[in-house]
């Protein structure tokens, strides 16, 4: 009985004078791993053209059915370098489980997950991430 008590007290006192490992969020931000799967980002090339070519792989692979895409032709190649763009690209954060499958499936690296973990919104409807919100160049 006394043995475990002493052992417990030794651990308690051992941690008493160590620096705190908690952070004062939101004044201090936690550092996360580089591979953290947070907010999505739709990437663009050096000319600012969208990398997404509306292949639909991310939508097909998503296990939560959280992605909705509607594509269109871009004959002038002004908005993309392949002649097709996703006119509508939405990710529903009410469904997304941040598995990262969409980013892994994308053949052009157009959709990536960032380390931004501040995703809370006051209203559920605002959790629908539209293309305008997701685009890197916004």
Angle at 118 between CA 114 and CA 123, to 5 degrees: 125
- Residue 97 binds to ligand SF4 (criterion: CB under 6 A): yes
Q: Binding ligand SF4 by CB under 6 A: which of 68, 79, 90, 101?
A: 101
Buried b (16+ CB within 10 A) or exposed e, 20-33: eeeeeeeeeeeeee
What the block records as the tokens of 84 is 């097709």
Pick 44 or 110: Cβ nearer ligand SF4 = 110
Segment lying near ligand SF4 (by CB under 6 A), choices 15-23, 26-34, 97-105, 116-124: 97-105
- Residue 102 binds to ligand SF4 (criterion: CB under 6 A): yes
Pick 29 or 94: Cβ nearer ligand SF4 = 94
Measured CA to CA in angstroms, residue 20 lies from 27, 39, 40 at distances of 15, 28, 32
Interactions with ligand SF4, residue window 29-58 (CB under 6 A): 52-58
- CA–CA separation, 98 and 46 (whole Å): 27
Q: Shortest Cβ distance from residue 74 to ligand SF4 (Å)?
A: 13
Cβ neighbors of 93 (< 8 A, separation 6 or more) are: 66, 119, 127, 128, 129
Count of alpha carbons within 13 angstroms of residue 82, beta-carbon side? 16
- Residue 85 binds to ligand SF4 (criterion: CB under 6 A): no
Pick 44 or 58: Cβ nearer ligand SF4 = 58
Binding site for ligand SF4 (CB under 6 A): 52-58, 62-64, 66-67, 69, 86, 91, 96-102, 105-106, 108, 110-111
């Amino acid at each position: 009985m006394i043995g475990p008590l002493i052992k417990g007290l030794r651990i308690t006192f051992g941690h008493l004078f160590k620096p705190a490992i908690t952070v004062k969020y939101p004044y201090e931000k936690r550092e996360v791993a580089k591979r953290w799967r947070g907010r999505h980002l739709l990437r663009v090339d050096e000319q600012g053209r969208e990398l997404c070519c509306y292949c639909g792989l991310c939508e097909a692979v998503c296990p939560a059915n959280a992605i909705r895409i509607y594509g269109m032709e871009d004959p002038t190649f002004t908005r993309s370098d392949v002649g097709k763009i996703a006119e509508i690209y939405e990710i529903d954060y009410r469904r997304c489980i941040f598995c990262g499958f969409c980013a892994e499936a994308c053949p052009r690296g157009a959709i990536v997950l960032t380390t931004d973990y501040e995703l809370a919104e006051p209203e559920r409807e605002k959790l629908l991430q539209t293309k305008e919100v997701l685009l890197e160049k916004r």
